[in-house]
Amino acid sequence: MDDKNLMQHIDRLADEEHDLFERESHEKLTDAERERLQHLQTLLDQCWDLLRQRRAKREFGQDPGEAQLRSEKIIKGYSG
């Protein structure tokens, strides 16, 4: 996935996250919706991390295609 496609994916995930946050401010979310929101937040963290990896590799003359999506455990470890 190139940077443009990755940004488009991030935008779609962020739109869905925003919709769920908006609904949550007006009504109670179902358990499934709450789980989806948590999953979206993790996916967004992973995608942003991947984009940062790609940009760093490019900046230092490395192949951005070598960047890899990190696991949820690693991503959650950054903020925990």
52 near 11, Cβ under 8 Å? no
Written as six digits, the tokens of 21 are: 């946050």
Say if residues 44 and 14 touch (Cβ distance below 8 Å). yes
* Average pLDDT of the residues in 56-75: 96
> What is the average per-residue pLDDT within 35-50?
97
Q: Where are the domains of the chain?
A: 3-79
Are 51 and 6 in contact by the 8 Å Cβ rule? The answer is yes
pLDDT at 77 over 90: no
Summarised one tens digit per residue, pLDDT across range 4-20 is: 999 999 999 999 999 99
Q: For residue 47, what pLDDT band results from cuts at 50, 70 and 90?
A: very high
Q: Kindly report the average pLDDT of the chain as a whole number.
A: 95
CA distance 38 to 30: 12
